[in-house]
């Protein structure tokens, strides 16, 4: 399970990559492993952070970095 997309060398090391695809892949892996409740909980956290709109990466119209989005999702968990 991996988030498949381009390598984006133009943003490498800048901390602005959107980590949501990684969380989504993890949720699919958890579902595959029979951890339905954990998969749902993770996606609910991602959806809550996205809906709030406070921790969004530039590709989603925000100014948060990868670490900020990750921290926001972890806080919801």
Mean pLDDT, rounded, for 4-19: 86
pLDDT of residue 68: 98
Tell me, yes or no, whether 37 lies in a domain: yes
R_g over Cα of the chain: 13
Tell me, yes or no, whether 3 lies in a domain: no
Q: Are 17 and 11 in contact (CB under 8 A)?
A: yes
| Domain with 54 in it | 15-76
Tell me, yes or no, whether 51 lies in a domain: yes
For residue 47 the two structure tokens come to 């959806």
Spatial separation of the C-alpha atoms in residues 67 and 4, rounded to whole Å: 20
Domain count, the chain: 1
At 4 the three-state DSSP class reads coil
- Helix 36-52 with 20-32: angle, nearest 10 deg: 160
pTM of the model: 0.90
Tell me, yes or no, whether 8 lies in a domain: no
pLDDT tens digits, one per residue of 27-75? 999 999 999 999 999 999 999 999 999 999 999 999 999 999 999 999 9
Tell me, yes or no, whether 1 lies in a domain: no
């Amino acid at each position: 399970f991996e988030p498949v997309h381009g390598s984006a060398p133009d943003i490498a090391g800048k901390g602005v990559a959107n980590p949501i695809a990684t969380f989504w892949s993890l949720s699919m892996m958890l579902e595959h492993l029979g951890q339905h409740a954990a998969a749902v909980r993770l996606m609910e956290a991602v959806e809550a952070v996205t809906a709030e709109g406070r921790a969004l990466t530039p590709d989603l119209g925000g100014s948060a970095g990868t670490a900020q989005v990750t921290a926001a999702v972890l806080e919801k968990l």
